Amino acid sequence: MTDCDTPKRPLRPRTLQVRAGLNRSNFSETSEALFMTSGYVYGSAAEAEASFDGSLDRMVYSRFKNPTVAAFEERLAAVEGAEACRATASGMAAVHAALVCQLKAGDRVVAARALFGSCQWIIADLLPRFGIEAVFVDGTDLAQWEAALSQPTAAVFLETPSNPTLEIIDLAAVAELTHRAGGRLVVDNVFATPVLQSPLALGADVVVYSATKHIDGQGRCLGGAVLGSAAFCNDVLAPYLRHTGPALSPFNAWLLLKGLETLDLRVERHAANAMKVARFLETRPEVARVLYPGLESHPQHDLAKRQMKGFGGIVAFELKQGKAAAYRLLDALQVIDISNNLGDAKSLACHPWTTTHQRLAAEAKLAMGIGEGMLRLSVGLEDADDLVDDLAAALGAP
């Protein structure tokens, strides 16, 4: 493999998302090579031995390392401004590994209550089985964080903006409280993407992504990533991944690598379209409230302006007439699809109460701010006026 000519001067994120991790093979290809291989061959028995005792740094097995996966990891680390990155087969594998790799029986975890359903399951149901205490707080209430983090805590987990209610949590403040409690702050940055929010720069220790969402951005494959310091990724996380095996397929890594090249362009369009859709929904009498961090009416709008570079592509709104009205609207849409995925080029709408958050008890959903009339829109890359027309027609449907 020949390295590309990387100038000594630092490159900006927009350049890095196109070029970081480019490690051309001896064929000098323009586009990144796809190495669909599980294993690697050694020139001699002694070389194989040296590869296993660590004296030789090279590819050994694709559960540990693969050139295409490594290119994706290097590129995402550069875009995020992280020392290191490890890719996983899905976002949930990333969340699970980022937490479990650093926890043991007797530890305590504090998390925000408003979480993606499966993240909530890992913390509330899975970790306690192994003797790890889980405490939930209202992520928007710093007094609750302060109280919960007045005791030694191994890890804190949160997502901001949260799914699906788009709550914004003060990352710098929670990072400081977490460090005082002796723990690591792990941030699920899926809704913001690396383009709009840099949790590590605000004091977080670890960032996780479902790369399935905006990083692929075209609804093609699953993937995940964990980013943080080289010490955390190499010494704490890597052995856990190596021996438990949630490895990303090289094919998916290649799709995600190409997805990163257009990430900022797509995220900017998602956000611009989401703003138009949110403003339109605010004018409609059928809509009780619209949740979008870019709206002045959002309870944490000022905080969102301070810690984010833009407000993302997800909009939630509550219909006055409840579930029946939500179903009527979904069934009447002609452009926007009904789907629980998000961050796709195609606009997608779902009813969190009966899909992504179905598993939770009604009281838990209400405590998270999810009502029966709530819909979540992942605003895509179509013409925003067509999306507004689609919603207007569906809202007016009998």
**Footprint of ligand PLP on this chain (CB under 6 A)?**
90-92, 95, 116, 119, 159, 163, 188, 190, 210, 212-213, 222, 224, 342
CA angle 136, 140, 146 (to 5 degrees): 65
The crossing angle, in degrees rounded to 10, of helices 250-261 and 263-282 is 70
Residue of minimal Cβ distance to ligand PLP = 91
Q: Least separation, in Å, of the C-beta of 8 and ligand PLP?
A: 36
Closer of 68 and 163 to ligand PLP (Cβ)? 163
Output 90 or 347, the one with its CB closest to ligand PLP.
90
CA neighbor of 267 nearest in space, from 14, 68, 20: 14
Of the candidates 103, 67, 69, the one whose C-alpha atom is nearest the C-alpha of residue 86 is 69
Closer residue to ligand PLP (CB): 250 or 312: 312
Looking at this protein, which amino acid is placed at residue 51?
S
Residue 256 or 278: the one with the smaller Cβ distance to ligand PLP is: 256
Closest CB 98 distance from ligand PLP, rounded Å? 11
In angstroms, what is the minimal distance from the CB of 137 to ligand PLP? 18
User: How far apart are the C-alpha atoms of 369 and 293, rounded to whole Å?
Assistant: 15
For residues 125 and 153, what is the distance between their CA atoms, to the nearest angstrom?
18
Residue (186 or 281) nearer to ligand PLP, CB = 186
Closest distance to ligand PLP from the beta carbon of 51 (Å): 31
Under DSSP, the state recorded for 65 is -
State the nearest-atom distance from the C-beta of 207 to ligand PLP, in Å: 12
Q: How far apart are CA 288 and CA 243, in angstroms?
A: 50
Kindly tell me which of 197 and 210 has the beta carbon lying closer to ligand PLP.
Answer: 210
Nearer Cβ to ligand PLP (190/207):
190
- Minimum CB–partner distance for residue 1 and ligand PLP (Å): 29
Rounded Cα–Cα distance for residues 79 and 21 (Å): 10
Which C-beta is closer to ligand PLP: that of 138 or that of 386?
138
Considering the complex, state which of residue 92 and residue 381 has its C-beta at the smaller distance from ligand PLP. 92
Question: By 3-state DSSP, what share of the chain in percent is helix, strand and coil, each rounded to 5?
Answer: 40, 15, 45
Q: What is the smallest separation between the CB atom of 153 and ligand PLP, expressed in angstroms?
A: 21
- The pair of structure tokens assigned to 295 is 């709206």
Q: How far is the CB of 90 from ligand PLP (least distance, A)?
A: 3
CA angle (224 as vertex; 221, 229 as ends), nearest 5: 155
Residue at token pair 């310091």: 229
Helices (H), the chain: 13-19, 45-53, 67-80, 91-100, 117-121, 127-129, 142-148, 171-180, 193-196, 230-231, 238-244, 250-261, 263-282, 301-307, 322-332, 362-367, 384-395
- Min. distance of Cβ 382 from ligand PLP in angstroms? 21
Q: Which of 278, 225, 219, 214 is nearest to 248 (CA)?
A: 225
Q: Measuring CA to CA, how many Å separate 29 from each of 33, 34, 241? A: 7, 11, 30
The smaller minimum CB distance to ligand PLP, of residues 119 and 200, is found at: 119
Q: Classify burial at 76, counting beta carbons within 10 Å of its beta carbon; exposed 0-12, middle 13-18, buried 19 or more.
A: buried
Q: How far is the CB of 33 from ligand PLP (least distance, A)?
A: 25
